[in-house]
Structure formats: C-alpha cells, structure tokens
C-alpha cells in the first residue's frame, strides 16, 4: 500500500485495517520471495560465471560454521539421549532400542532440522548483514550500474554454496550428535557402544526424507536471507532490522518446510 | 620491522586457535562484567519504568504471532516424529506422553528461545548498536543519565520476562497443535491425547523443568544481545556484524547451558 493511501485511511483504521494490511504485506513478501527464488534458479542455469565465487562462499558458509555447528550439535546430542534415557527408565527399563530409535530420529528429522536452525542463525544473519550493508552503502546500485544483476552476482553463489555445504554440514552434524549421544548413553546409562550402534531401524525412506530436508533448508536459507538483505533500507538501523528479519524468517521457513516434508514423508513412507 | 619470514602452517594454526580462544574469553568476560553492572543497579532497583513498559510491549506483544506459528507447527512435527515409535510399541494412548514430554522439557523452551533470540535479541542488538555508532549513548552520558539503568536494565528484564511468558504460551499451543495433528495423523482423539498427557507419567516437574530453562535462556539472550550491542564499532556494517555475533553467541550459549541445566535438574 502506498504512503498516500495509508495516510488517507489512517483516520478510520482498526483491527480489520491491520489484518488486511498484514495480509497484503504477507502476500507481497511471498510473491517477492518467489521471484527471487525463480530468478536465482534462472541464473544458476543461465547466469555469468565468476571464477572462485562459489568456492569462496562455500568456505564462508561451510568451513566457518563447522566449529559452531559441532559444539551445538554435540550438546544437543547429549541432551536428547539423556532426556530420552530418563523417560525410557521411567516407562520400560530396556535400553536396547535407545540407540536405534535415536539414530532413526536423527536421520529422519533432528539432525537436519536442528542443524539447519543453527545454520539459519549463523549463515542467514551473515548473508543479510553483508548484503544489507552493501545496499545501504549503495554498492548494490553500483553493481546494477555495471549491468551486473545483484541476484546473479550476490545471491546465486551463496545459493549454490549453501545447498552443497548445508548437506555436507548436516551429515557431519548427525555424526557428531550420534557420537555425543552414544557417549552419554555409555556413561549415564551404561549402554554398551555395540548396543547403541544399531542401524536396523533406519531405512531408505528415512534417508531420503533427511536428505530432502537438507537440500530444502540449504536452498531456503540463502533465498530468504538474501531477500531480506536486498530489501534493506535506512542506514545502520536498517541493516540491523534486515538481519533480524533474516534470522526469524529463515527459522520460520525451516519449521514450516519441516512440517510439510515430514507430513509428506509420513504419507509416502508409511512405517 | 624487517622482512618477516613467512609463518609456517603450524604458526598460522596456533595463531588462529589463540585468537579465537582470546575472542571467546573476551566475550564471556565482557558479558560477566555487564551482568555485574546490571546486578548492581538491580539491588535496590534503579530503572526507568516507562522504558521497561515500552520494551515489554515491543518484545512480548509483538512476538506473539511468530510464537503461535512456531508452537503450532512444532507440536504437529513432534507428533509426526513420535507416531512411528508409539505405533511400533503398539501404544497409541502413549502419544500424548511422548509428544508432551519432548515438548514440555526440551523442544518448546528451545525453539521459543531460538525464535526470541532471532526476533528480540537480534533486534535489541541492532537498536543498541545503532545508538552506539550514532553516539547516542555518549550523549546520554553527557547528560548524566546512566545508560545501564536507563537502557540496558529495562531490556535485560524485558527479554527475560518475555521468554518466560512466551514459553508458557508455546507449551500450551504446541500441545494443542500436537493434540489435533495426532487426531489427523493416527486417529487418536484429543481426549485420549489429554489422558496420555495427564495420566500420571508427566508431572509438574516436567513443566517446571522447561520453565527454569526458559529463564536461563532468557538471561543468556539478554546478556549476549546487550553486550554485543554496546561493543559495536564501525557504522552500518558493524551493526550487521554485531547482530550476527549476537545470534551465534545466543544459540551456542542456549545449547551449552541447556545441557548443564538438564543434568542439574535431572
């Protein structure tokens, strides 16, 4: 809604007005997000290739997140096994399937979703802060002047790098969380490593679901945060706002995608 | 300096490790000092009540929509993940317990904390960072107004209270989402779900466990966001970097402390 019409209706605004303008804003952001996504895909296929850009972004997104992700996933692995061990003790004091169930959950959902939430905070905030700073210092306008599309030049390398590195990092994260969980089970509940290392419950459906999630999250994070970065306005406060929105919206995107992919997997791969 | 010999790979690695260790120590120390200064103004309380009310509105009321969305979806996801396990055990009545236990103790406090860290913590850093780079904090000092009592303390209390209240909301809404998605997915009636929830396997201790965590997470987010906001340097890119550092430090702090609190509470 334009500024003039906003001011014209401001006299008799109310709940319906707020609801309507929120809906219009939501629809518009959804459309713009879709357009950024479509243009990114187009440039992946047809764009100019800048040598080394994707590798640089892979280092930025991947290697620099590895330490952070290792710490958080290690701790979450210990917490999850500890909590489920406590509950198992309460209900059926039998730890033989603890490792197998944990691995199944990890492969199907937890490694991808929690790992991606961590990446959304680190990578998403980084992308939005970087692109947002470029927008407010008019570097993006300079790019346009040089006939370089910002989506082709800025978002595409991050998109490719993120899809690859999210998958790689999440496989690593799953390994870390599994080993940390195994150590917790061994020290807290005396579950032998051999019993814990049980892959009988993981089938191809779980693997496909997990890998689908990796790719979907890896694609969603740079698109959502890149869009938030490109729509920055208004100096240093604007950069802060863009970064905040990037983190919140990429996290929400992950939770919503998780719901839809999990529900689809529940229907496609019935247990 | 004369032409220095190019450092060996090991020296570069050692330098990198050393720099990051010093960086972490500096952050933790800075947050500790900030906590000390905040506590000194808390007993007896010297804070700006209108500012506290403004912050509470901005942080809590405005976060309700994302907490609602997150919690409803999370509840549904918990049921989708728990469904195969309870089916395998042949105990559909236990789905309320399985989803409720995970939600109340871990997932609701954790995800709410991550969302609030993204929305409120990051926003708070951006606001404070902007004030620092535009020298508004120095202006406050020049007017003999204590920035900690006027700006930081209300935000600190605001974030902690916000997270506590939002976790209460998220607990209730996630269970609601779980109840209705278990009806849709595995045909367990909401009353049966409620029975599994309140049938004696879960107690107040599980709810309290999650709430204690939410307070701890709130303290971490508040400290990290105020610390990084106040130490911002270097214009608009500096604000972006501070926000980035805040969300990373909050997330790492939340997970590490979650582990210790889980162990302590048992």
What digits encode the pLDDT tens for the residues B2-34? Answer: 555 666 777 888 888 888 889 889 988 999 999
Tokens 């247990």 sit on residue:
A271
Q: Does A80 touch chain B (CB under 8 A)?
A: yes
| Count of domains for chain A | 1
The residue among B134, B201, B244 with the most chain A CBs within 10 A of its CB, best to mutate, is B244
Nearest-CA distance A233 → chain B (Å): 11
Does residue A35 lie within any of the structural domains? no
Average pLDDT over residues B139-156: 90
Q: Does A147 fall in a domain?
A: yes
CB contact under 8 A, A255 and B74: yes
**Average per-residue pLDDT in chain A?**
87
- Backbone phi and psi for residue B39, each to the nearest 5 degrees, phi listed first: -65, -35
Provide the chain B residues 163-182 that lie in CB contact (below 8 A) with chain A: none
A209 at B interface, C-beta within 8 A: no
**Contact yes or no for B69 and A236 at CB 8 A:** no
Beta strand segments in chain B, E: none
- Could you report the per-residue pLDDT of A66-89, keeping only the tens digit for each? 988 999 999 999 988 988 888 778
Tokens of A189: 């509940």
Q: Check residue B158 and give its pLDDT.
A: 93
The token pair at A116 is: 């991606």
Is residue A14 in a domain? no
At A51 the pLDDT is: 82
Q: What is the DSSP string of B116-128?
A: HIIIIIHHHHHHH
If contacts are CB pairs under 8 Å, which of residues 128-187 in chain A contact chain B? 128-130, 132-133, 136-137
Q: Pick B198 or B78 by higher pLDDT.
A: B78
Say which residues have a Cβ less than 8 Å from residue B173's Cβ, sequence separation at least 6: B67, B68, B71, B72, B75
**Which chain A residue has the Cα nearest residue B85?**
A101
Decide if A204 is inside a domain.
Answer: yes
Q: Which residue of B has its CA nearest to A261?
A: B77
Q: Taking CB atoms and an 8 Å cutoff, what residues of chain A touch B125?
A: 240
- DSSP letters, A225-237, are HHHHHHT--SHHH
Residue A99 lies in a domain: yes
pTM, rounded to two decimals: 0.86
Chain A, chain B: beta-carbon pairs less than 8 Å apart: 170
pLDDT at A173 over 90: yes
pLDDT value of residue B4: 57
- The rounded percent of chain B whose pLDDT value lies above 70 is 97
Best residue in A111, A188, A243, A269 for a mutation probing chain B (most B CBs within 10 Å): A243
**B2 to chain A, closest Cα gap in Å:** 32
Contact check, Cβ <8 Å, B85/A101: yes
Question: Which chain A residues touch B134 with a CB distance below 8 Å?
Answer: 236
Domain range holding A64? 51-268
CA distance A144 to B159: 41
Q: Touching check for A12 and chain B: CB below 8 Å?
A: no
**Looking at this predicted complex, what is its ipTM?**
0.82
Orientation of helix A204-230 relative to helix A125-136, angle to 10°: 20
Q: Which residue of A has its CA nearest to B97?
A: A87
Q: Which of residues 104 through 143 in chain B touch A, CB cutoff 8 A?
A: 105-106, 111, 114-115, 117-119, 122-123, 125-127, 129-130, 133-134
- Residue A9's contacts (CB-CB under 8 Å, 6 or more residues apart) are A17
A271, closest residue in chain B (CA to CA): B84
pLDDT value, residue B230: 92
| Residue A147 Cα, gap to closest chain B Cα (Å) | 24
Quick check: is A16 in a domain? Answer: no
Subunit contact A126:B244, Cβ cutoff 8 A: yes
B94: chain A residues, CB-CB within 8 Å? 91
Question: Is the model's pLDDT at A11 over the cut of 60?
Answer: no
């Amino acid at each position: 809604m334009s500024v003039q019409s906003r001011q014209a209706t401001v006299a008799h605004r109310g709940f319906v007005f707020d609801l309507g303008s929120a809906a219009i804003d939501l629809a518009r952001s959804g459309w713009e997000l879709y357009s950024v996504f479509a243009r990114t895909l187009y440039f992946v296929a047809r764009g100019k290739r800048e040598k080394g850009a994707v590798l640089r972004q892979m280092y930025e997104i991947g290697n620099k997140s590895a330490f952070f992700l290792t710490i958080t996933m290690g701790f979450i692995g210990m917490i999850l096994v500890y909590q489920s061990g406590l509950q198992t003790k309460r209900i059926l004091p039998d730890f033989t399937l603890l490792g197998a169930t944990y691995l199944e959950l990890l492969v199907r959902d937890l490694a991808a979703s929690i790992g991606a939430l961590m990446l959304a905070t680190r990578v998403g905030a980084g992308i939005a802060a970087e692109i947002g700073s470029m927008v407010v210092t008019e570097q993006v306008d300079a790019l346009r002047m040089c006939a370089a599309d910002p989506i082709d030049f800025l978002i595409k390398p991050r998109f490719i790098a993120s899809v690859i590195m999210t998958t790689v990092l999440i496989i690593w994260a799953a390994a870390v969380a599994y080993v940390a969980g195994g150590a917790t089970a061994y020290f807290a509940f005396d579950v032998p490593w051999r019993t814990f290392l049980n892959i009988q419950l993981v089938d191809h459906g779980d693997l496909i679901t997990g890998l689908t999630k990796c790719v979907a999250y890896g694609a969603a994070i740079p698109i959502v945060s890149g869009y938030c970065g490109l729509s920055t306005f208004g100096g240093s406060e604007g950069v802060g706002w863009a970064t905040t929105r990037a983190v919140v919206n990429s996290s929400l995107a992950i939770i919503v995608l998780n719901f839809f992919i999990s529900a689809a997997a529940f229907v496609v791969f019935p247990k | 300096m004369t032409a220095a010999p190019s450092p060996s790979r090991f020296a570069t690695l050692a330098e990198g490790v050393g720099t990051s260790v010093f960086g972490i120590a500096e952050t933790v120390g800075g947050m500790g000092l900030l906590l000390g200064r905040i506590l000194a103004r808390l007993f007896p309380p010297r804070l700006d009540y209108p500012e506290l009310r403004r912050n509470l509105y901005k942080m809590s009321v405005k976060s309700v929509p994302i907490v609602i969305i997150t919690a409803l979806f999370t509840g549904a996801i918990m049921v989708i993940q728990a469904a195969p396990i309870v089916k395998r055990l042949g105990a559909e009545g236990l789905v309320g317990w399985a989803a409720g236990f995970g939600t109340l103790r871990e997932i609701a406090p954790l995800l709410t904390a991550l969302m609030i860290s993204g929305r409120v913590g990051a926003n708070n850093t951006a606001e404070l960072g902007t004030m620092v780079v535009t020298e508004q904090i120095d202006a406050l000092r020049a007017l003999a107004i204590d920035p900690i009592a006027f700006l930081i303390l209300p935000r600190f209390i605001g974030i902690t209270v916000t997270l506590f209240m939002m976790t209460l909301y998220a607990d209730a809404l996630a269970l609601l989402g779980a109840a209705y998605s278990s009806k849709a997915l595995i045909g367990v009636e909401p009353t049966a779900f409620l029975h599994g929830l309140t049938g004696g396997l879960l107690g107040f201790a599980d709810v309290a466990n999650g709430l204690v965590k939410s307070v701890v997470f709130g303290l971490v987010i508040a400290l990290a966001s105020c610390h990084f906001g106040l130490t911002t340097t270097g214009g608009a890119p500096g604000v972006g970097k501070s926000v980035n550092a805040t969300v990373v430090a909050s997330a790492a702090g939340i997970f590490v402390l979650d582990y210790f609190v889980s162990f302590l509470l048992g």
